[in-house]
Amino acid sequence: MQKEPFVLISCIHAVVLLHHSKVISFFIYLWWIKCIPHYIKKVQQKFIISASVTVPLVNEEVEKVHLQKGQAWSVHKFGGTCVGNSERIRNVAEIIIQDQSERQLVVVSAMSKVTDMMYDLIFKAQSRDDSYIVALDAVLEKHKSTALDLLDGDDLTIFLSRLHQDVSDLKSMLQAIYIAGHVTESFSDFVVGHGELWSAQMLAALVRKSGRNCKWMDTREVLVVNPVSSNQVDPDFPESEKRLEDWYSRNPAEIIIATGFIASTPQNIPTTLKRDGSDFSAAIMGALVKARQVTIWTDVDGVYSADPRKVSEAVILQKLSYQEAWEMSYFGANVLHPRTILPVMRDDIPIVIRNIFNLSAPGTVICRPTAGEDGSGQCLETPVKGFATIDNLALINVEGTGMAGVPGTASAIFGAVKDVGANVIMISQASSEHSVCFAVPEKEVKAVEKALKSRFQQALNAGRLSQVAVLPDCSILATVGQRMASTRGVSATLFDALAKANINIRAIAQGCSEYNITVVVKRDDCIRALRAAHSRFYLSRTTIAMGIIGPGLIGATLLDQLRDQAAILKEKFNIDLRVMGVTGTRKMVLSDTGIDLATWRDLLSGEGENADLKKFAQHVHENHFFPNTVLVDCTADTDIASNYHDWLLRGIHVITPNKKANSGPLDQYLKLRALQRKSYTHYFYEATVGAGLPIINTLKDLLQTGDKILQIEGIFSGTLSYIFNNFKGTSSFSDVVKEAKEKGYTEPDPRDDLSGTDVARKVIILARECDLKLELADISVETLVPEPLRTCSSAEEFLEKLPQFDEDMARRKQEAEDAGEVLRYVGVVDVVNQKGSVKLQSYKKDNAFAQLSGSDNIIAFKTERYHEDLLIVRGPGAGAAVTAGGVFSDILRLASNLGAPS
């Protein structure tokens, strides 16, 4: 009478324990490994006999049932999350029962976390940690409690009997591992595959309760694979088809519940399709039965254009080609097992990704592209379908003039890499053959570097190779789309988006198929690069993270304008402006996702922390969820303006109405503009001259289109415009100044306006735009503050004494009136003579400068094109609303430059 291997091993195990012989233990372990195929065969026979309580074993003499392949078959795959507990298993059974397909083949994974638990059992036993016994009991209890909740009657009795027998057998097997302190791959594969066996049996029994003809399949009886490496196998389709025909002839059924993940070698040794191999199982089974489609059920609505954890605006893709899905899965996108695509491509079997927790979502279809999707027809969709990233990589660069023209260099390089078992993710070689660089996982880079330096030691010593350099902390960004091959400018658009987000590209690779453009970037830049690229191809809104400095009159007005316009910008213009922080001189408030602009005042006064400009800038810029960041300086502070160069250098855009930077020391200004012009970082300052009037951009347009500026003359101060527009009749100069202050048109101290310094700053800004190398001290300024009053201790004292000097201003007014003219306080940029001035000047009453009202500004450009009829810009040039509006326009100009639709 033949003994079961487990009985034998238990007896010998007891002897071993008595003699404490590790040598004997190891030989027993090897003997047990050889027993596995025999045990598998006996288990299979047992399963065949009792696979169904309603259908008897098919007799060999009975005519075999032929497997009809084709469109009648529908294949489903349910992952571990889908069968995570009894309630979810019921949901799966309901989906299967409601499917109207003539035939169904359902591939099922182990219950959620069970595969990890099984690997942990092996690890504990191999480490001689006897807690594996308690851990195995937890596995038993998990499945026992699930079965008690799902099944009853004979189905429950049969399953629990098998479960207890399996666990008993596993305990003996784990004891053998415990004794030997070692486990082979086949031994490990056999142990971990039990999770699929148990979930498949429970699901099949549950489906049978509905009255459907359902059998469960141990795919180790059918699916044959050839191990290629430690993490890859190749299906043996001819042998698997033969075994499937044989299995089906003995187990004809309307519904087959098959185990995923597990298979057998040609020698009938248990193996697996490696981690996440259930998708691969489903594709193979779908190919074997020539199914109509393969549906992969998971916990997401489909395949996203990018990882939604990194790009919140990622969208569900309705359709992907096989090639696109392959590329995205290879580069780490949560799509499918990378090899899942191959079996179904041969027969054009579509794969559908569906969400088991949201049955209303249509999911993503992966199939062969139809006409118009492969470049043969017009299509308005973006040529880029999606983006994927791989982190924790290192870039290795092998470089040297001795590589050029030397046959076999690349072979030697990658032969050395192969010898250490490293995985090359991406390769890039210069056409000069001067250098080869490639990316490998960071955990493998030391071994690769050592192998290369050893292999090329002689070449390095002789100088034929100059270096084997390692660039750590890298990530890969892959841009995928089949229509990229027929669309011009995709690479240019991608690189432009990354450049404008201040991302430096370390390496580039693109195949001739053009389905994929791969770039290597710093790991710290990866998420920002992903979001910038995703946004640029209009898969999401153009999102800009903003920091507002100075919530005073202008800053507060800007924040209110942003609040009122935010929804419209999102809906109509695809622009998402997020204010990540607001800071004053004493308090600041920060947010990781964007401040509610309806409550920013309350937040700043209530929850605000102590202001710290360095921390503020760092917070706004280093939020990797937003690739584009801008700091908006709404102050007139020289110290804050001194930070612009550092911010631009770090890739932070700057927008400001603050005149101090552009009118400050010439060397600092030139340094700032040089940096801004050679980078993709933007510096906008329209509101520094004329508030919301288009003065700076008009001047730039004239210069960039080749016009030559001769002179710029203007009334640049809204305060002084108001004063001289109202200095008429019997009104005294001091009365008009006092009235202007009472109406809020002047600075708290009117001398700041009357001194002419503000106008001089605007003149120097325009002069420098015309490439005049002038300092502020070079501007001739006629001050309107009488000499004796310049040292007054307060504004009140100044206003009190100002009437003493009305006589002089009254005389100048009268002289102008006698000549039919009016007084105006103007700034002039004389480009021809390379000088600037600020002065009180009179104009004929029919001159445009004489016809102003209120606080309007007017600027006249005299150029070679506009010589006789001057180009004039006129309108409100002061006030919080128009100044904030000018800053807002610069923000929208920045969004347009970063990819928002124009």
Cβ burial of 551 (10 Å; 0-12, 13-18, 19+) is buried
Which long-range contacts link 58-64 to residues 24+ away (Cβ below 8 Å)?
58/249, 58/250, 58/251, 58/252, 64/249, 64/250
Strand order in the sheet with 319-321: 214-217, 255-259, 103-108, 73-78, 293-298, 351-355, 364-367, 319-321
String of DSSP letters for 728-758: -TT--HHHHHHHHHHTT-S-SSTHHHHTSHH
DSSP 879: S
Q: Return the bridge partners of 270, or none.
A: 264
Beta-strand pair 232-235/516-522: unpaired
Positive or negative: CA dihedral 603, 607, 611, 612: negative
Q: Return the bridge partners of 106, or none.
A: 76, 257
DSSP 624: T
* Tokens encoding 190: 């056999």
3-state secondary structure of 393: strand
Cβ burial of 124 (10 Å; 0-12, 13-18, 19+) is buried
Beta-strand pair 683-684/653-655: parallel
Q: What is the length of the chain? A: 902
Q: Is 572 a catalytic residue?
A: no
Distance in angstroms (rounded) separating the CA atoms of residues 112 and 80: 4
Half-sphere exposure of 801 (CA within 13 A, CB side): 15
Closest CA to 848 of 861, 838, 864, 863: 861
CA angle, residues 394, 395, 400, in degrees to nearest 5: 145
* Tokens encoding 756: 């002419």
From the candidates 77, 124, 142, 762, give the one annotated as an active-site residue.
Answer: 762
Amino acid 197 reads L
Q: How far is CA 492 from CA 496, 533, 541, 836, in A?
A: 6, 11, 20, 43
With contact defined as beta carbons under 8 Å apart, do 509 and 518 qualify?
Answer: yes
Measured over all CA atoms, what is the biggest interatomic distance in the chain, rounded to whole angstroms?
136
* Residue bearing tokens 């990781």: 592
Closest CA to 870 of 711, 734, 726: 711
Element (H, E) at 829: strand 821-830
Closest CA to 92 of 174, 214, 4: 214
With contact defined as beta carbons under 8 Å apart, do 533 and 498 qualify?
Answer: yes
3-state secondary structure of 578: strand
Distance in angstroms (rounded) separating the CA atoms of residues 475 and 391: 4
Q: Would you please indicate which residues are annotated as catalytic (active-site) residues?
A: 762
